[in-house]
Amino acid sequence: MHRLNLAQANTLIEAALAKGAELGLKPLTVTIHDPGGYLIACQRQDGASNMRVKLAGGKAAGALALGVSSRTIGDMAVDRPHFIAAVDTMSEGGMVPAAGGVIICDGSGTVVGAIGVTGDTSDNDEACALAAIEAAGLRAKN
């Protein structure tokens, strides 16, 4: 497996939305990306605002761009705001420095894509992302 296939992408979205429902979260948007950061699938729940697909995508594609989770990028932005601001300007797809974007690996540790979640608090967004990865039998990159 060199990248997530569409069936896996749909499974990941369903699992993330199910977790959001279980936790009673606000309307969520979930994006699934191949290792190049390109969308494979996305779903934006009713009531979620206009920019949500871009926000979720920026979390996930940013994670793939730098090779770390968007939570870590958020921490970097606190420590070195000028650095992340510059990288964000450089980033064609946009980079969202907040938890909720997680790189996905297969069993061998190979990067096969990423998931981005937005809509509730960043911590809750990330909890849904991690739950989805586990439900799909995949691994989050540390």
Q: Are 30 and 16 in contact (CB under 8 A)?
A: yes
Site pattern 48..87 for a copy of itself (x: CB under 8 A): xxxxxxxx--x-----xxxx------x--xx-xxxxxxxx
> Cα separation of 4 and 80, whole Å?
33
59: three-class secondary structure by DSSP: helix
- Hey, what are 140's tokens? 């989050």
Q: Select the residue interacting with a copy of itself from 12, 15, 16, 42 (CB under 8 A).
A: 42
Question: Which of 14/135 has CB closer to a copy of itself?
Answer: 14
Backbone CA torsion sign across 14, 16, 19, 25 = negative
CB of 9 to a copy of itself, least distance (A): 8
Calculate helix-pair angle for 81-90, 70-79, nearest 10 degrees: 130
Contact pick of 24, 36, 107, 142 for a copy of itself (by CB under 8 A)? 36
Binding-site ranges for a copy of itself (CB under 8 A): 1-3, 5-6, 9-10, 34-46, 48-55, 58, 64-67, 74, 77-78, 80-98, 110, 112
